[in-house]
Amino acid sequence: MWDNDHQCCSSFKEFSEELRKVFDRSALGTEAARALSLLQQGGRSVSDYSIEFRTLAASCGWNAKAQWDHFLHGLADYIKDEIYSLELPPSLDGLVDLAIRVDNRIALRSRHRRGVVSRELFSDLVAGAAGDATSQRLVMPEEEPMQIGRARLTITERRHRLTHSLCLYCGGAGHVAVSCPVKGRRFSAKEGRTVSVTNTLLPSGGRSVLQASLQFNKTIYQVSALIDSGAEGDFMDNELAARLGVPSVPLAEPISARTLCGTHLTRITHSTRFITLTLSGNHAEEIRFLLIHSPSTPLVLGHTWLVKHNPHIDWTLNSVLAWSPFCLSQCLGPAFSPVMSCSVLQEEPVSLANVPEAYHDLRAVFSKSRASSLPPHRPYDCAIDLLPGTSPPRGRLYSLSGPEREAMEKYINDSQVAGIIRPSSSPAGAGFFFVGKKDGSLRPCIDYRGLNVQHVRRVLQRLLENRLFAKVEKCEFHARSVPFLGFILSPEGIRMDPAKVKAVADWPTPDSRRAVQRFL
C-alpha cells in the first residue's frame, strides 16, 4: 500500500482505520467473548484458569453477573462439588477467591494422601528389581536401617552406582553391599548381644513419627520420634543425649545391631540414664535409650516400647488414637500445655480481689492455664460415631473483621500449643465466628449445626430404645430463636422475653402518688 501510494497513507487517521480493518479481527471483543464462552478449567489449577478468564473478560464486555455465572460453569466438577455445599459469594472476586482456596485445600489433602515418597526413588527400585539376581541384591541391601550413622545416597549417585554395578555402600567395584569389605572392617570388635533393626527404603516423609518431648533435669527438648516395630530396642542419637546433658551408662554386655538379613551395622556399648519422655501432651514415662550415632533420626521407639504401651496408632495421620489400659493407669495425666513444666505446673498469678479471703486457699480453681488444658484420659473415654452412610458437613465461611481475625489467630495458636486442636487438611469443616462478651472481649463460636442435625436423630433413637419419652409441647426443633433465662436469643441479637415484662408493660399509667408507689 505504501509503495502504491494508497490514499490511506495520506493521513494517520485513515491509515489507522485501514490497519484495524486488516488486522483487528476482534470485532470489539467478539473473539474474546467467543473464547470466554468456550473456556473451561480442565486439568489445570483454578489459579491458572482464573488468570486466563480475567484476561478474556477484560476485553469481551460481559457484565458482572454473566462473568460470575460463566466462571462457575467453567470450573472442574470436583471443585463444583465442594463449593456448591458452601454459601457462594455474590461477587466474582469472592467466587474466584473461594474456588482457589478450595482447590489449594484439595491439592494439599491429595499430597498428604499420596505421601511424599519420591517417584524417582521407586523408579530406581523397580528398574533394579527387573534385572537378574545380582541386580536385585544391589537394590535391597542399601543399608539404611533407621538411617543410623550414614547419610542417604542422592538419587543421582544411586542411579550412577546401579548403572555401573558399583557397591551401594562404599562405591567400589567388583562386589555388592552385602559382601562389602569396607563394611566388614568397620565392625571387627567383639560382639555381644544382637538386636535387629529394619531396612528402611522410604524417605523420611513416608515414615511414621510422633512429636515427643524429652526432659532431663530442667532441660526440655522437642523432637520427632520414629515408630519402628522392626527395631528390637529404643534408640537415641548420642549427639542429642549430649545436648540434653544426659549421662551415658556402659552396658554390661555390648550389643551388635544387625539388619533383618543379618548384616552387621554397629556396636552399641552405652545407654542413657532414665529420662522423661512425653507424647500426645500427657503421656509421660521414665525410659532408657540405647545410644547410637544417628543424627538424621535422633529418637527411635521400637518393638519393646510398642509392646509395653500397645497404643492404637493412626498410621496415616501419624497420631495416637487411644492408649492401652496400662497407660490409662500408669502414664496418662492432665494434658497441660507444653510451654509449662512437664513435672510441676507453675501457677500463674491470679487476681483474687473479688474472692472472699476464706476461699483464697482454693485459688487453683481460678487457674486459666488449667482451664485451657484437656482432661486426663480415663477408662471410659467415649467416641463420637457418625451415622452410617453420612459424611462430615461442609460449613459456611464467615467474614471476619480485623480484630476478629487477630483473635482467631491467637485462639488457634494458643489451642495448638495446649494440644487441644491440631492442623487439618480435610475439605470438611465447621464455620468459625465470634460473639461479643459482656467484658468487651470476643468469644469464639464453632458452627456445629450440620453435625448436630445427625446427632438429634441419634438422641431421639436412644430415648426410644430405652423407653424414655419426651413431652412434645416442651420440645423445639430447628428454632430461629429460643428463650433463655428471661431473654430471647436469635440471630438478630438478645432481647427481653415479653412474658417476663408483660406485667410491667401492661401496668396502667399511675395517676396518683399512691399509684406510683405501688408501681415501684
**Interval 222-233: pLDDT, tens:** 888 899 888 888
Residue 491 has pLDDT above 70, yes or no: yes
Write down the mean pLDDT value for the chain: 74
pLDDT over 70 percentage in the chain: 70
Q: Are 400 and 435 in contact (CB under 8 A)?
A: no
Report how far residue 109's alpha carbon sits from residue 426's, in angstroms, rounded to the nearest whole number: 6
Three-state DSSP at 215 gives strand
Closest CA to 303 of 196, 202, 206: 196
| Whether pLDDT at 330 is above 50 | yes
pLDDT band for position 445 (50/70/90)? confident
Q: How many CB atoms lie within 10 A of CB 479?
A: 10
Q: How far apart are alpha carbons 227 and 207 in whole angstroms?
A: 8
Which band of pLDDT confidence, cut at 50, 70 and 90, is reported for residue 301? very high
The mean pLDDT value for 295-301 works out to 88
The lowest-confidence range among 133-142, 154-163, 485-494 is: 133-142
Mean pLDDT for 445-463 is: 75
User: 3-state DSSP call for residue 496?
Assistant: strand
Cβ atoms 168, 177 nearer than 8 A: yes
Q: Give phi and psi for 403, each to the nearest 5.
A: -60, -35
Q: Which of 16-20, 203-207, 347-351, 510-514 has the lowest mean pLDDT?
A: 203-207
Q: Which residues contact 121 (CB under 8 A, 6 or more apart)?
A: 155, 158, 201, 203
The pLDDT, as a whole number, for residue 305 is: 92
Q: How far apart are the first and last CA of the chain?
A: 101
Q: What is the mean pLDDT of residues 100-108?
A: 86
Q: Does residue 149 carry a pLDDT above 50?
A: no
Count the alpha carbons within 13 Å of 299 in the hemisphere toward its beta carbon: 23
DSSP3 helix / strand / coil % (the chain, rounded to 5): 40, 20, 40
Nearest alpha carbon to residue 435 among 373, 491, 479 = 491
pLDDT confidence of 192, banded at 50, 70, 90? very low
User: How many angstroms separate the CA atoms of 20 and 403, rounded?
Assistant: 54
In three-state secondary structure terms, 322 is strand
Q: Which helix (H) or strand (E) holds 450?
A: helix 449-465
Please give the Cα distance from 73 to 501 (Å, whole number): 54
Using an 8 Å Cβ cutoff, are 272 and 246 in contact? Answer: yes
Per-residue pLDDT, 2: 63
**Domains, the chain, ranges and CATH?**
7-114 (no CATH), 204-330 (2.40.70.10), 479-520 (no CATH)
Residues counted in the chain = 520
Mean pLDDT for the stretch of residues 41-55: 87
Burial class (CB in 10 A: 0-12, 13-18, 19+), 139: buried
pLDDT at 75 over 80: yes
Lowest mean pLDDT among 70-74, 182-186, 359-363: 182-186
Average pLDDT score over residue span 467-474: 82
Question: How far is Cα 379 from Cα 330, in angstroms, rounded to an integer?
Answer: 12
Which range is most confident: 135-139, 310-314, 390-394, 412-416?
310-314
pLDDT at 287: 92
Determine which of 296-310, 319-333, 384-398, 433-447 has the lowest per-residue pLDDT on average: 384-398
Among 354-358, 396-400, 439-443, which is the least confidently predicted range?
Answer: 396-400
Q: What is the dihedral of CA 378, 380, 385, 388, to 10 degrees?
A: 140
Mean pLDDT calculated for residue range 108-132:
48
Q: Which 8-state DSSP code applies to residue 163?
A: H
Q: Looking at this protein, which amino acid is placed at residue 490?
A: S
Note the pLDDT of residue 427. 67
Q: Give the range among 244-248, 303-307, 502-506 with minimum mean pLDDT.
A: 502-506
Q: Are 288 and 275 in contact (CB under 8 A)?
A: yes
Q: In this predicted structure, what is the pLDDT of residue 341?
A: 39
Report the range of poorest mean pLDDT among 149-153, 353-357, 409-413: 149-153
What are the CA-CA distances from residue 205 to residues 64, 110, 147, 316, 423 (Å)?
A: 45, 15, 13, 12, 17
- Give 490's strand partners: 493
Of residues 394 and 267, more confidence is placed in 267
- What is the Cα–Cα distance from 231 to 250, expressed in whole angstroms? 20
Res. 35: pLDDT tops 50: yes
Grid coordinates representing 144 are: 539404611
244 neighbors 273 (Cβ within 8 angstroms): no
Rounded CA separation 364/369 (Å): 10
Q: Are 76 and 99 in contact (CB under 8 A)?
A: no
Q: Give the per-residue pLDDT at 286.
A: 92
CA angle 278, 281, 287 (to 5 degrees): 10
Q: How far apart are CA 415 and CA 248, in angstroms?
A: 37
